[in-house]
Amino acid sequence: MGGVRMRAGRAARAGAAAAVCALGVATAIFVPAALDDQGDGGGSGRGEGSGVQPRAARTTAATTAEKCVRPEASLRPSSASGPAIQRIKNRKVDGHRLGKLIAGVDQNSYRWGYRDPATGDLTGFDIELVRAIAKDIFGDPDAVIYRAIPTSQRVKALQQGKVDIVVRTMTINCDRLKDVAFSTAYFKAGQQVLVPKGSSVTGYNSSLRGKRVCTAQGSTAEAELDKEKDGAEDLGAIKVDPVPNQLDCLVRLQLGQVDAVITDNALAAGQAAQDPSVKLVGKPFTEEFYGVAMNKSDEDLVRRVNKVLEAYRSGGDNSPWMRAYRKWLAEDLGRTEENPAAPAPAYKD
């Protein structure tokens, strides 16, 4: 049970997945040296003139937790350019204006944020939204520097000022609102179980008893497994050490090192489409909303992004949101989404 079980063909598929990861690392787009990281244990590494500094949150975690009833409710949209927008527009590196939005994204989530093998360019549903935000702020959808960040580092990247926004299939919830701010929701998803075809697992239920389950560190799936009621212990599942990125779970599943993966169904559908040896089972057992995450002090940026999202949803079947959905997600999610649509915005002010 402790060894690596490999069936015919699985090693090849795992190698292919590893190759995708390697491509992403080799061709990653990094910010100029003045903005480079110094590692998790050191300082932020930002030069005095970089214009990117860690920003303290204005609202205490306790206050946010007390008020959190409908986490997907955000600030009303506005086109005003406040201090956050001005900071982004006027940011300088080595004495020169950067003129770009810095976005934290994924580069290994098929259909959402991944590198086109033919061009090496980042592309996907989340990337389309980043481009729309950059166009609104700078008038140019290409005015973006992408920073590939693991699931577990999304909040830290915002708190330390390493990115302006995170658009990375990030679920809005009360716990995260203690640390970051969110836009209105741009997608609805749910947690589901991904297993090899032929598995005896039927969903997020007692069929997971004795099964090794993988999740990404800092994900909502990990939070579900850690719950006292209906968590891994309650179901009798074996929660293995979480991995930095959700794709790492797929590789472990392909290698036979785990028996099931718990993740967002929107991500898992794309993985099942890539690898015919795996399948989604059961029904989604949560309802979650993805939002654009930002630093808690950047209220004007939150409102500006919400303005972009209002336009992004508008236009019915020909809205930018629907065009992006048809381009990136319809092929994989069409079997489970009968009437796809962007979530209606909710506001708290």
Both 318 and 261 in one domain: the answer is: no
For residue 347, give every residue at least 6 positions away whose Cβ sits within 8 Å of its Cβ, in sequence order, or none: 73, 74, 75, 76, 184
Percent of the chain predicted with pLDDT > 70: 80
Please give the pLDDT value at position 9: 43
Kindly state the average pLDDT of the residues 278-296. 95
Q: How confident is the model at residue 332 (pLDDT cuts 50, 70, 90)?
A: confident
Could you read off the pLDDT of 20-60 as tens digits, one per residue? 443 333 333 444 333 333 333 333 333 333 344 455 444 44
Please give the pLDDT value at position 82: 97
Q: Is the residue at 9 inside a domain?
A: no
Q: Is the pLDDT of residue 270 over 90?
A: no
Q: Is the residue at 104 inside a domain?
A: yes
Q: Is the residue at 341 inside a domain?
A: no
Please give the pLDDT value at position 334: 66
Please give the pLDDT value at position 55: 55
Kindly state the average pLDDT of the residues 9-13. 43
Both 297 and 308 in one domain: the answer is: yes
Please give the pLDDT value at position 8: 39
Q: How confident is the model at residue 313 (pLDDT cuts 50, 70, 90)?
A: very high
Q: How confident is the model at residue 111 (pLDDT cuts 50, 70, 90)?
A: very high
What mean pLDDT is reported for the chain? 84
Q: Is the pLDDT of residue 19 over 80?
A: no
Both 212 and 65 in one domain: the answer is: no
Could you read off the pLDDT of 204-242 as tens digits, one per residue? 999 999 999 999 999 999 999 999 999 999 999 999 999
Q: How confident is the model at residue 273 (pLDDT cuts 50, 70, 90)?
A: confident
Please give the pLDDT value at position 49: 35
Could you read off the pLDDT of 126-174 as tens digits, one per residue? 999 999 999 999 999 999 999 999 998 999 999 999 999 999 999 999 9
Please give the pLDDT value at position 349: 86
Looking at residue 125, which CATH number applies to its domain? 3.40.190.10
Both 118 and 236 in one domain: the answer is: no
Please give the pLDDT value at position 338: 66
Indicate the pTM of the whole model. Answer: 0.79
Alpha-carbon gap, residue 241 to 187, rounded angstroms = 28
Both 175 and 300 in one domain: the answer is: yes
Q: Is the residue at 76 inside a domain?
A: yes
Please give the pLDDT value at position 340: 85
Q: Is the residue at 166 inside a domain?
A: yes
Please give the pLDDT value at position 57: 46
Could you read off the pLDDT of 240-259 as tens digits, one per residue? 999 988 889 999 999 999 99
Q: Is the residue at 145 inside a domain?
A: yes
* CA 154 vs CA 21, 30, 82, 158: distances in Å: 18, 16, 24, 7
Both 37 and 137 in one domain: the answer is: yes
Domain boundary among 248, 281, 314: 281
Please give the pLDDT value at position 4: 35
Could you read off the pLDDT of 91-103 as tens digits, one per residue? 999 999 999 999 9
Percent of the chain predicted with pLDDT > 90: 71
Both 113 and 210 in one domain: the answer is: no
Both 91 and 130 in one domain: the answer is: yes
Between 328 and 349, name the one with better pLDDT.
Answer: 328
Both 266 and 226 in one domain: the answer is: yes
Q: Is the residue at 21 inside a domain?
A: no
Both 303 and 220 in one domain: the answer is: no
Domain that holds residue 235: 191-281
Q: Is the residue at 259 inside a domain?
A: yes
Q: Is the pLDDT of residue 61 over 90?
A: no
Both 152 and 247 in one domain: the answer is: no
Number of domains in the chain: 2
Q: How confident is the model at residue 69 (pLDDT cuts 50, 70, 90)?
A: confident
Both 170 and 265 in one domain: the answer is: no
Please give the pLDDT value at position 237: 97
* CA 71 vs CA 40, 172, 178, 180: distances in Å: 29, 6, 11, 12
